[in-house]
Structure 1
Amino acid sequence: MKSTAGKKQARRQFWLAVHLYLGLSLGLVISLVGLTGSLLVFYIDLDEWLNPQLIISEPGPQRQSYENIFQALRRAEPARQRGWRLEIPDDPRRAITARYYQPQETEHHGFAPLMLSVDPYTGSVLANRFWGEFAMTWLYDLHYKLLLDETGKILMAIVGGLLLMSLVSGIYLWWPPLHKLKSALSLKRHASRERLNYDLHKLAGVYSFIVLLLLALTGIALEIPQYVNPLFGYFSPLQASPAPKSAITQNNPARISLDQAVAVGQARFPQARLCWIETPHDTNGSYRINLRQAGEPSLRFPKTNVWVDQYSGQVLAISNPDELGGSDTVINWLHPLHTGEAFGLTGQLLVLFSGLVCPILFITGLIRWLQKRRGRRTTKRQSLSAKNQPLSPQMLNR
């Protein structure tokens, strides 16, 4: 029977092999995912930097009404008769971004809306673009689904699971005895290049472990919600998404304006900030007024919603995250945790730097493997050389 030390060594060799082959086979993909994720942390800012025409250089004294903005969209795209979704910026220098979902031109993609950027002060259209056809959205699709639509999401969920295994195996291999913890958490001074590379690999993994673990878990959940969300539902019931319908009557034959619908929604949550306005998709559709209450983790995609009848202005449904169960609350936290915005600028910077760690781990791990392989070859050559060396007369006479 194997001794305890022998079993421990065999177990360590197994996880060393797992860690090595996961790193060599997936390192490039994980590096790509990490780098694109880092860029996407500040997706809107980078998009504006790449497209300076989106920045309002001289904000006017007063914004156009939301109804005027909507009519400007209709004039710019008269063939788009279904609803639009308008993102209302808090920054006075930022344009209103309107999305038109499932346009005919990109209907073969799972998600590729038409996106119009509108000057909130003049109503003029600053940009007219399809999702995926400009840099930052192309990077998003590369990060989220490897540009492969639904198949890419499944692949990325698998990559996320293998990343989890790589992270856990790395921590297992690193875990030091308590009396060596201090040295295991620091760079060795005046070390050789080989030791410096090893320490960089080790410390990059250790110090980014918690964030990378969180990113991998939330990434898997966001890739395949159709499988993950029902699992949460076992712990507490999930709230069904409301689908209220407006009822046209002789007394209310005309649609109310976007501004009236917004006023109705904000009256229910007067302290909340307006984030999105979704207009009705058809004659039975309703307005969806999306607001952010203080304390919600997501800045851009909060979960406070008020559905308003497009004719009467009556409230048809409300979704208040303060009243949701535990499972829905966890699901609502997944995206802001993954982007870091749940913890403001600090969280975003943590995600950014953790994404940059991925290529560092791959490069230092690859160098470490090449160093060890080169060392084994040198040892093997020396051993063969010693075997082939002719025996001296002294050795023959023994």
Structure 2
Amino acid sequence: MAKTHSYGFRELTNDIHLWLGLASGIILFLVCLSGTILTFEHEIKDATREEMTVTPMGEKLAVSQLVTSLEEGGEGTVTGITIPAASDAPYRFSVKKDPSERRGTTVLVDPYTATAREEGASSADDFLFVMFRLHRWLLLDSAIGRPIVGVATIIFMVLAVSGIVLWFPRKVRWKSVKQGFKIKTAAGWKRINHDLHNTLGFYASIFIVIMGLTGLCWSFEGYREGLSAVIGAKVFDRSGPEFEAGAGAQETTISLDEAIASAHATLPGAGDLSVNLPAEQNAFYTFRKYDASAWSPVTYDQLYLSEQGQVLATVRFADKGLGERIAGLIKPLHTGEIFGTFSKILYFLACLIATTLPITGTLIWWNKLQKKRRRVSA
């Protein structure tokens, strides 16, 4: 008498994994493919646009001189500046010809010669924007595409967790478990395809879960608010600290160069420094200083300085609570920028694997279906 297997937890997990994977396969393939490309979005843009070569020679010109040169040259009004730590990199000036412009343009300036030119568009801009819309909204209207991608993201996390469960053999023994860590390349294509799905999926699963948990912050406002409540800090909080920025009109204002010197003194160490200049709505300097020696290249300290040189507030990343740090790192945790190039490579490989999982999973199902049909017809 043939032995029958009871329908238990493993069988239920297998069915959930199978049918959710088949139902969402095309969407997950498109989202992961676009995410793989966007992992190195900035590097692709830099490689496909004309660079400005800076040759260090003598002393750099004062930033105020460069601002005057740009504004008198008809470039527009400077609203922000990024001063790189590297001596052979151009300064980046945010310039608006019209105050009503939202972002303005970026002008690259040689700090030794004051040579300036507008940062040209990358030849890959249009392609990358399509990939961005595909990744976020499936090229649909955002109100329609955003929740679809959000649901697909939840499904992918369920697939990752259920895949880990199925990765373990029924009887957990080291001889059986270790087979799941490698791909048997000497076997037939069906076995290789199974190993590609099983083994590579296991390696990528932790990254899939991280990308999913963070990615949902863009898909569902309720999730974002719930996560903010759990960690005790607002995700995507762009507000600054509260302080009194007003000062008497008779008080002497400091120069831009003095403000920058004060920022370097308050936030010491090597690293890129960016500043937003005082404006009508924010009558103070806002500085960001990236620490080149920090564990992550995306963390920064902030300084708010009045036009009279008074330190209004200093916000150091190291002094933030755990929840505030997590909230501030949601985007780099999702994109892979958290540890720079090293983590980007890991994320790229994980996304590439994730792109193949719907294909290899569908082939596994199809092969089993064909095998079952042959048994029935035999």
Q: Same fold (TM over 0.5)?
A: yes
Aligned residues: 364
Distance 1:141 1:76 in 2: 35
Q: 1:195 aligns with which of 182, 191, 209?
A: 191
The alpha-carbon distance between structure 1 residues 153 and 77, as it changes in their structure 2 partners (threshold 3 A), is: farther
Counterpart in the other structure of 2:324:
328
Q: 1:152, CA displacement in angstroms?
A: 4.7
Q: 1:173 aligns with which of 166, 173, 180?
A: 166
Partner SS state of residue 211, structure 2: helix
The alpha-carbon distance between structure 1 residues 106 and 278, as it changes in their structure 2 partners (threshold 3 A), is: closer
Q: What are the superposed Cα offsets for residues 139-192 of structure 1, whole Å, 9 maximum, x if unpaired?
A: 445434545556654443333222111111211222223221012222236322
Distance 1:136 1:39 in 2: 8
Counterpart in the other structure of 1:391:
none
The alpha-carbon distance between structure 1 residues 34 and 287, as it changes in their structure 2 partners (threshold 3 A), is: same
Counterpart in the other structure of 2:43:
45
User: Equivalent residues in 2 for 1:1-398 (5 A)?
Assistant: 6-8=6-8, 11-51=9-49, 53-56=50-53, 58=55, 61-71=58-68, 74=71, 77-78=75-76, 84-99=79-94, 113-121=103-111, 122-127=114-119, 134-136=126-128, 138-146=130-138, 148-149=141-142, 152-176=145-169, 177-179=171-173, 180-188=176-184, 190-221=186-217, 224=220, 227-228=223-224, 231-234=227-230, 236=232, 241-244=240-243, 246-247=245-246, 249-252=248-251, 256-271=254-269, 273-282=271-280, 284-293=282-291, 296=294, 298-300=296-298, 302-309=299-306, 311-380=307-376, 382-383=377-378
Q: 1:87, CA displacement in angstroms?
A: 3.6
Q: 1:305, CA displacement in angstroms?
A: 0.5
Q: 1:133, CA displacement in angstroms?
A: 5.5
Q: What are the superposed Cα offsets for residues 216-242 of structure 1, whole Å, 9 maximum, x if unpaired?
A: 222224555774355344454669732
Distance 1:279 1:376 in 2: 70
> Is the Cα–Cα contact under 8 Å of residues 27 and 359 in structure 1 kept in the other structure?
no
Q: 1:327, CA displacement in angstroms?
A: 0.9
- Between the aligned residues of both structures, percent identity stands at 23
Q: What are the superposed Cα offsets for residues 83-141 of structure 1, whole Å, 9 maximum, x if unpaired?
A: 7343433445544445579x89997xxxxx444141333341232559x9544455445
The alpha-carbon distance between structure 1 residues 153 and 200, as it changes in their structure 2 partners (threshold 3 A), is: same
> Is the Cα–Cα contact under 8 Å of residues 93 and 107 in structure 2 kept in the other structure?
yes
> Is the Cα–Cα contact under 8 Å of residues 304 and 319 in structure 1 kept in the other structure?
yes
Q: 1:19, CA displacement in angstroms?
A: 1.9
Distance 1:186 1:366 in 2: 21
Read off the aligned partner of 1:124 and give its amino acid letter: A
Q: 1:244, CA displacement in angstroms?
A: 4.5
Q: 1:353, CA displacement in angstroms?
A: 0.8
Counterpart in the other structure of 1:110:
none
Read off the aligned partner of 1:269 and give its amino acid letter: L
Distance 1:124 1:151 in 2: 43
> Is the Cα–Cα contact under 8 Å of residues 85 and 270 in structure 2 kept in the other structure?
no
Q: TM-score, normalised by structure 2?
A: 0.80
The alpha-carbon distance between structure 1 residues 181 and 66, as it changes in their structure 2 partners (threshold 3 A), is: same
RMSD: 3.6
Read off the aligned partner of 2:164 and give its amino acid letter: I
Partner SS state of residue 312, structure 1: coil
Q: What are the superposed Cα offsets for residues 13-40 of structure 1, whole Å, 9 maximum, x if unpaired?
A: 4333322233233333333333333333
Read off the aligned partner of 2:336 and give its amino acid letter: G
Distance 1:272 1:224 in 2: 38
Partner SS state of residue 288, structure 1: strand
